[in-house]
Chains A and B, each alone.
Chain A
Amino acid sequence: MTITENKPSKIIGTRLLRREDPPLLTGEAKFTNDLNIPGALHLSVLRSPYAHAKIKSIDVSAALKIAGVVAVYTGKDLQTSWAAPMPCAWAVTTDMKNPAHYPLAIDKVCYVGDGVAAVLATNETASRDALDAIDVQYEPLKAVVDLEDSLSDKNVIHSDLGTNKSYTWPLLVEETPGCVEQAFKKAKYKIKERYVQQRLIPMAMEPRAIVAVPQPFGGDITLYSSTQIPHILKVMSAITLGIPEHQVRVVAPSVGGGFGSKLNVYAEELLCMALARKHNAPVRWVEERSENSQATIQGRGQIQHVELAADENGKITAVRVRIIGDMGAYLQLVTPGVPILGAFLYAGVYDIPKAYDFSCTSVFTNLTPTDAYRGAGRPEATYAIEMGIEALAREMKIDSFELRKRNYIKKEQFPYTAFSGLTYDSGDHLLAAEKAAKMTDLAGVRAQQKKQNVAGATKLLGVGMSSYFEMCGLAPSRVLASLNYSAGGWESATVRVLPTNKVQVITGTSPHGQGHETSWAMIAAEKLGVAPEDVDVLHSDTAISPLGLDTYGSRSLAVGGIAIALACDKVIEKAKLIAAHQLECASEDLQFENGTFSVKGSPDRALPLAAIAFGAFTAHNLPDGCEPNLEAQVSYDPPNFSWPFGTHMCVVEVDTETGAVEILKYIAVDDCGNQINPLIVEGQVHGGVVQGIAQALFEEAVYDMDGNLKTTTLAEYLVPAACDVPAITTAHTVTPSPTNQLGVKGIGEAGTIGAAPTVITAIIDALSSLGVKTMAMPASPQTVWKTINEATSGGKQ
């Protein structure tokens, strides 16, 4: 498929202010916990203080005596409430081990934060007080915290599985059998590196919140939840509770961020629903921040072993990767799939032969379950290959940008069939990288570096870069099938032109900060020739938008946005038949411009869409066989992923006395194809870059040896604020995707993917004269200081 028409856009590409912002900024927007539901009971969950322990006994009698407490349930009490364990939708291998996981632990807890008992009370204070009054006797067991320790199976967490290993997922692509090994034998240069992707806490600004409201009769139930996935949640909660799917309605009110953490089916959602049905009363729950740190999924959590082989020119000849993935205590919705989403990207943006040997072994630990977090597998992969390129450049004693240039997939090679068989739709890596270098004044910075980084200097300058691909726009359903994912990757849209020429767009995407209402209105307005303010965008309510696969993986525009464009095309096609009938001409003779059909060559013979919309409604004068009303529904399955790309560069100054890192300049050149709204694109890049910088410099979920989280509040878990990050300069190249009619790609995760390696490579560059070759994340001042000391003293301190 190619881009059908290249008409100049009037609306698409403009910096329209977000229609979402006034209600958000004035407090008018309603989040789940703002919903006033009379008669609701409040749920509180007692959580395990042990990472690994047997539950010996639970005494709830004192809690039941507290005024306002209605009921207290243990895991055993609710055992018969579940028709199935909590869902994992991604069995990545047929022999994957998946422990049964219920909303409340039954006889054993497996992480600090695991639910042990549920309190229902008439008010929040009573339910919170009751938690302190429940007496649980535990028999603590040895906690498995370390990934390599877990792999040894010295302490098995889920004894029925017999092992801590969940799965091993290999991706071996060889032109000829054994060619990877041969490439490493023949290689003029090779590197072997180990990187750790620390666990991150997604920390959406709005913690999770839920209200389950049973209908007064008939057994229907409405679940309001701060979720990214109302549609998936509807199916999965119906299955888990054993309720007919059509009796469940899920609504996501305003949602204050997710970053993947709300791409899940959580214990508390199921508890609220089960208890609302049991008590025939609404049940609500809102998460405390320190609960959010422990009971909402965490991201990353990998150990990566990366090897590159290269010939005498530095051309990469083989890639070998071994990953240990940290699943945490249980498999949540897509936990096992996260490393697999990165599996195809360990060659990054580079042209390599079919000599790729990837394998990921994922293990259970007594820690909070991991799952998708902004980028999900792809930031990890990009970090590994970009750090690997830097290591290879050091090995070859050449400039790493020069090494990248020798390996980039060239513009003329697109569409490019990769070693994996995936097709990269379009790209121009060199163009983006050179633009970034120019904006950074790379030559000038290098000259300054020579002057500044002299012996004895304590403020050292460094430049870092990373070039990335973001495999996104999840996803062609057939590809998902080949990866054993239990759903498709299509998206649905309905476009309806009302009798007064106002337009309703109903989307299956579920925005939680991305500005879909603005962007989708722009697409429909451009296509139909109406004003954006005349387009209403409806979403995030399964009663209004029954079909959809929700928002994650930078899929919403590249899949959901295209579905809207296609539905608009269908509407226009039908309107054209009506116009031809009323203008008494052949529909081929009509053109549609600025919202008006006119006969080619006779512009006075014309009918505006408004007239046709009204005519379709009255149905007084329609062609034979034409149904009344102007409405079309489309389910669009993308033919390919979309492949945004770009290069980020930054300049840092490292204070070698304290280890403090200051980012002096950050340049992000991203290419997401055509942009619907550049303002929103910039916002996505800014937010993404800050989250990547956060991984590089600030954030880490720190656990002690007993599996206790030490960073439960925002005082210890260092989410950077605006004053802690540099000004970010964004720029773009525009390489439209040839696989969809708008030429668009995703942008939601690009910043996060590009930023972490950019910052870390800059720090290493600054400290290279001191012999520093590695830097753990987060590069806190103490970590930087220690690394300098180790390098300069030639050993560990």
Chain B
Amino acid sequence: MIPAAFDYKRASSAAEAISLVSEFGSDAKFLAGGHSLLPLMKLRLAQPSMLIDIGRVKDLSYIKDVGDHIAIGALTRHMDVETSKVLLEHAPLLSHAAGHVGDAQVRHRGTIGGSIAHADPASDLPATTLALGATYVVQGPKGKREIAAANFYKGFLESDLAADEMLIEIRVPKMQGAGWSFQKFNRRAQDWAIVGVAAWRRKGEAGVALVNMGSTPILATSVSNAIAKGASISDAAAMASNEADPQNDLNASTVYRKHLASVLVRRALEAASK
């Protein structure tokens, strides 16, 4: 559990962090809560030569109501997302999902920005923000740009973030009273989901995203389209895996994962329709 040697710099602002990462190039990694990166480094599966600690960057930990959406700073800890009054009122699906990340220790250290930037398809918050139609704001040497969650995830642990860009804000549309459900199926409470479903429903509209059903978080557009066309929940849920390409692993075969996705999407939509 001893990582390979690395250098360490601490950034005090987003601009400084970006300038550091530009200076050190692709061998540099941002360190926020450290709950994805450090385990990989201890196993020597990741060996960055430079860590840029953004944990003390000021002004990136916030949850603000800005009219039609909620703006969440990238360094906001899971525990703050879970318990935020603003989010509980306007995006309760996200708060609830944040309460299912890891265990209490992880939720006190890990950040929403770190989780999304890591782009792990098995993580809860990438899929949940995807289901909610979130927008991510990133900052690079040339300034800020906005990326729709639906265009962000490119492959396993790969996103649209350039090496010299940093995720700084997550914008989540207000749910406007939509019904919602987060279904996390796993063997131990603290584990990643074997399959997870984040879903919301408002009359003929629904948004459904899947956790751990492919190399990226998956937007189950077939299900939403079917609901929009008036299909029954169980008929819509049968299409849960249309966009998915799940892997085989110790916990689940591809066939079982697809089956679980249908069951969990059905349960999620039923719960969201109540």
On A, residues with C-beta under 8 Å from B are 124-125, 128-129, 132, 288-290, 657-658, 660, 697-698, 702, 710-711, 713, 715-716, 718, 720-721, 723-724, 780-782, 785-786
Per the bound structure, the CA–CA distance linking A129 and B252 in Å amounts to 35
Query: Residue B228 at the A interface, CB < 8 A?
Result: no
* CB <8 Å contact, A711 and B250: yes
* CB <8 Å contact, B250 and A721: no
Query: Shortest distance in angstroms between B38's beta carbon and chain A's nearest beta carbon?
Result: 13
**A289 to chain B: which residues have CB within 8 Å?**
1
Query: Shortest distance in angstroms between A727's beta carbon and chain B's nearest beta carbon?
Result: 15
* CB <8 Å contact, B190 and A721: yes
Query: Shortest distance in angstroms between B260's beta carbon and chain A's nearest beta carbon?
Result: 6
* CB <8 Å contact, B251 and A780: yes
Query: Residue B5 at the A interface, CB < 8 A?
Result: yes
**B264 to chain A: which residues have CB within 8 Å?**
658
Which residue of chain A has its CB nearest to the CB of B195?
A658
**Which one of B106-114, B144-152, B181-189, B216-224 contacts A?**
B181-189
| CB within 8 Å for A129 and B185 given contacts A658-B260, A782-B252 | no
Show 27 residue pairs from A and B whose CB-CB distance is below 8 angstroms, ordered by the A residue. Answer: A124-B2, A128-B2, A132-B44, A288-B1, A657-B263, A658-B260, A658-B263, A660-B185, A698-B187, A698-B188, A702-B250, A710-B250, A715-B192, A716-B250, A721-B103, A721-B188, A721-B189, A721-B190, A723-B189, A723-B190, A724-B187, A724-B188, A780-B187, A780-B251, A781-B185, A782-B252, A785-B256
Which residue of chain B has its CB nearest to the CB of A781?
B187
**B2 to chain A: which residues have CB within 8 Å?**
124-125, 128
Query: Shortest distance in angstroms between B34's beta carbon and chain A's nearest beta carbon?
Result: 16
| CB within 8 Å for A658 and B185 given contacts A288-B1, A780-B251 | yes
* CB <8 Å contact, B4 and A129: yes
Query: Residue B43 at the A interface, CB < 8 A?
Result: yes
Query: Shortest distance in angstroms between A717's beta carbon and chain B's nearest beta carbon?
Result: 10
| CB within 8 Å for A782 and B253 given contacts A698-B188, A718-B187, A718-B188 | yes
**A658 to chain B: which residues have CB within 8 Å?**
185, 260, 263-264
Mask: chain B, 1-36; 1 = CB below 8 Å from A; 0 = not: 110110000000000000000000000000000000
Pick the 7 closest A-B CB pairs, nearest first: A723-B189, A128-B2, A657-B263, A724-B188, A782-B256, A288-B1, A782-B252
Query: Shortest distance in angstroms between B104's beta carbon and chain A's nearest beta carbon?
Result: 10
* CB <8 Å contact, B43 and A713: yes
**B194 to chain A: which residues have CB within 8 Å?**
781
Number of A-B residue pairs having CB atoms within 8 Å of each other in the complex: 52
Query: Shortest distance in angstroms between A573's beta carbon and chain B's nearest beta carbon?
Result: 54
Mask: chain B, 247-259; 1 = CB below 8 Å from A; 0 = not: 0001111001001
* CB <8 Å contact, B43 and A290: yes
Interface residues in B223-269 by Cβ distance below 8 A to A read 250-253, 256, 259-260, 263-264
* CB <8 Å contact, A782 and B251: yes
Per the bound structure, the CA–CA distance linking A718 and B186 in Å amounts to 11
Which residue of chain B has its CB nearest to the CB of A288?
B1
Per the bound structure, the CA–CA distance linking A697 and B188 in Å amounts to 11
Per the bound structure, the CA–CA distance linking A128 and B43 in Å amounts to 11
Per the bound structure, the CA–CA distance linking A718 and B190 in Å amounts to 10
Per the bound structure, the CA–CA distance linking A716 and B253 in Å amounts to 15
| Interface of B, helix, strand, loop or mixed by DSSP | loop
Which of B5, B253, B259, B264 counts the most chain A CB atoms within 10 A?
B259
On B, residues with C-beta under 8 Å from A are 1-2, 4-5, 43-44, 103, 185, 187-192, 194, 250-253, 256, 259-260, 263-264
A698-B188, A718-B191, A780-B187 known, 17 other contacts, Cβ within 8 Å: A124-B2, A128-B2, A132-B44, A289-B1, A658-B185, A660-B185, A697-B187, A698-B187, A711-B250, A715-B191, A718-B188, A721-B103, A723-B188, A723-B189, A724-B188, A781-B187, A785-B256
Which residue of chain A has its CB nearest to the CB of B253?
A782
Which residue of chain A has its CB nearest to the CB of B42?
A288
Query: Shortest distance in angstroms between B235's beta carbon and chain A's nearest beta carbon?
Result: 17
**B188 to chain A: which residues have CB within 8 Å?**
698, 718, 720-721, 723-724
Query: Shortest distance in angstroms between B47's beta carbon and chain A's nearest beta carbon?
Result: 10
**A702 to chain B: which residues have CB within 8 Å?**
250
Query: Shortest distance in angstroms between B157's beta carbon and chain A's nearest beta carbon?
Result: 16
**B44 to chain A: which residues have CB within 8 Å?**
132
Query: Shortest distance in angstroms between B236's beta carbon and chain A's nearest beta carbon?
Result: 17
Query: Shortest distance in angstroms between B15's beta carbon and chain A's nearest beta carbon?
Result: 33
| CB within 8 Å for A785 and B190 given contacts A128-B2, A660-B185, A711-B250 | no
**B187 to chain A: which residues have CB within 8 Å?**
697-698, 718, 724, 780-781
Which residue of chain A has its CB nearest to the CB of B263?
A657
**A290 to chain B: which residues have CB within 8 Å?**
43
Query: Shortest distance in angstroms between A86's beta carbon and chain B's nearest beta carbon?
Result: 26
Per the bound structure, the CA–CA distance linking A786 and B259 in Å amounts to 11
Query: Shortest distance in angstroms between A425's beta carbon and chain B's nearest beta carbon?
Result: 40
**A782 to chain B: which residues have CB within 8 Å?**
251-253, 256
Per the bound structure, the CA–CA distance linking A720 and B189 in Å amounts to 9
Per the bound structure, the CA–CA distance linking A129 and B5 in Å amounts to 9
Which of A289, A658, A716 counts the most chain B CB atoms within 10 A?
A658
Which residue of chain B has its CB nearest to the CB of A697?
B187
Query: Shortest distance in angstroms between B36's beta carbon and chain A's nearest beta carbon?
Result: 12
Which residue of chain A has its CB nearest to the CB of B267?
A657
Per the bound structure, the CA–CA distance linking A289 and B191 in Å amounts to 18
Query: Shortest distance in angstroms between B187's beta carbon and chain A's nearest beta carbon?
Result: 6
* CB <8 Å contact, A785 and B259: yes
Per the bound structure, the CA–CA distance linking A413 and B37 in Å amounts to 63
Per the bound structure, the CA–CA distance linking A786 and B255 in Å amounts to 11
Per the bound structure, the CA–CA distance linking A710 and B252 in Å amounts to 14
**A716 to chain B: which residues have CB within 8 Å?**
250
Which residue of chain B has its CB nearest to the CB of A719?
B188
Which residue of chain B has its CB nearest to the CB of A711?
B250
Query: Shortest distance in angstroms between B172's beta carbon and chain A's nearest beta carbon?
Result: 28
Which residue of chain B has its CB nearest to the CB of A715?
B191
Query: Shortest distance in angstroms between B44's beta carbon and chain A's nearest beta carbon?
Result: 8
Query: Shortest distance in angstroms between B112's beta carbon and chain A's nearest beta carbon?
Result: 21
**A697 to chain B: which residues have CB within 8 Å?**
187
Per the bound structure, the CA–CA distance linking A125 and B44 in Å amounts to 12
Per the bound structure, the CA–CA distance linking A658 and B190 in Å amounts to 19
**B251 to chain A: which residues have CB within 8 Å?**
780, 782
**A720 to chain B: which residues have CB within 8 Å?**
188
Query: Shortest distance in angstroms between B48's beta carbon and chain A's nearest beta carbon?
Result: 16
**B250 to chain A: which residues have CB within 8 Å?**
702, 710-711, 716
Per the bound structure, the CA–CA distance linking A157 and B190 in Å amounts to 40
**B1 to chain A: which residues have CB within 8 Å?**
288-289
Per the bound structure, the CA–CA distance linking A631 and B265 in Å amounts to 72
Query: Shortest distance in angstroms between A708's beta carbon and chain B's nearest beta carbon?
Result: 12
**A288 to chain B: which residues have CB within 8 Å?**
1
* CB <8 Å contact, A125 and B263: no
Which residue of chain B has its CB nearest to the CB of A291?
B1
Per the bound structure, the CA–CA distance linking A660 and B188 in Å amounts to 11
Per the bound structure, the CA–CA distance linking A753 and B4 in Å amounts to 43
Which of A711, A713, A781 counts the most chain B CB atoms within 10 A?
A781
Which of B5, B185, B187, B189 counts the most chain A CB atoms within 10 A?
B187
Query: Shortest distance in angstroms between B111's beta carbon and chain A's nearest beta carbon?
Result: 20
